[in-house]
Amino acid sequence: MPDPLLATHELDAFYGDFQALFAVSVELGAGEVIAIIGANGAGKSTLMRAITGLVPCRPGMVRLSGEAVGGLAPHRIAARGVAMVPEGRQLFASLTVEENLLIGGQLARPGPWSLGRVYELFPPLAERRRMPAPSLSGGQQQMAAIGRALMANPELLLLDELSLGLAPIVIKAIYDALPTVIAQGMSAIVVEQDIARAIAISDRIYCLQEGRVSLAARAGDVSRGDIANAYFGT
């Protein structure tokens, strides 16, 4: 069997002396979408940050297509085809919408995504391309953050708290665009508080509780009771 696109193996992660993740093992195959769910503080964003090199870990704890990348600098992991849409968007406030998008394409990785494709996916960005990024609404900023990640033409797209703080109509528009985003073999990890959306978009689900995996299952096989037990340990 080929190596999974991504595998974490008993991943531990720390902030100084505080341990945030305990032996977290997650796998993601090519073309697959998994959702990471769990209560606030469960370690979901820390997992994303460890995968991208923003939180250090030992080399073998994170592997891309079988290659140990744990502990590599973030730019080296990005060059291997990993891009993240971070919680809170984190656009560059001093730059225009288009300049933010172009930053995502600096690695010049080959692939289908370009400015034209991003503007086709998110027309409001085309209309506001020359405007400063902070002038966008929250939903438009999330579109810009997704577009910036797509400009890197990643093999693995990490989406951290996509719907946080957005109006329902905006959340629907962004999730309606996701099938196009993850088409053509791209794999994705979605961190999401909305469990129903997480189940609908993903092939498999992992739940974290206090930094540990409390549930790993196919999305169509989990019940409300399974999820409640995984969240709260009841």
60/19 Cα distance (integer angstroms): 18
Residues 161 and 210 both lie in one domain: yes
Residues 113 and 188 both lie in one domain: no
Residues 165 and 63 both lie in one domain: yes
Domain end marker among 103, 125, 152: 152
Amino acid at 18: F
pTM of the model: 0.92
Domain end marker among 96, 120, 152: 152
24/214 Cα distance (integer angstroms): 10
Residues 135 and 32 both lie in one domain: no
Residues 139 and 168 both lie in one domain: no
> Digits of tens for pLDDT over the chain (234 positions)?
678 999 999 999 999 999 999 999 999 999 899 999 999 899 999 999 999 999 999 999 999 999 999 989 999 999 999 999 998 888 999 999 999 999 999 988 899 999 999 999 999 999 999 999 999 999 999 999 999 999 999 999 999 988 877 888 888 888 888 888 887 778 999 998 888 888 898 999 999 999 999 999 999 899 889 999 998 876
Residues 16 and 69 both lie in one domain: yes
Alpha-carbon torsion 138, 79, 12, 10, what sign?
Answer: positive
- Are the C-beta atoms of 199 and 219 separated by less than 8 Å? yes
Q: Which domain holds residue 142?
A: 87-152
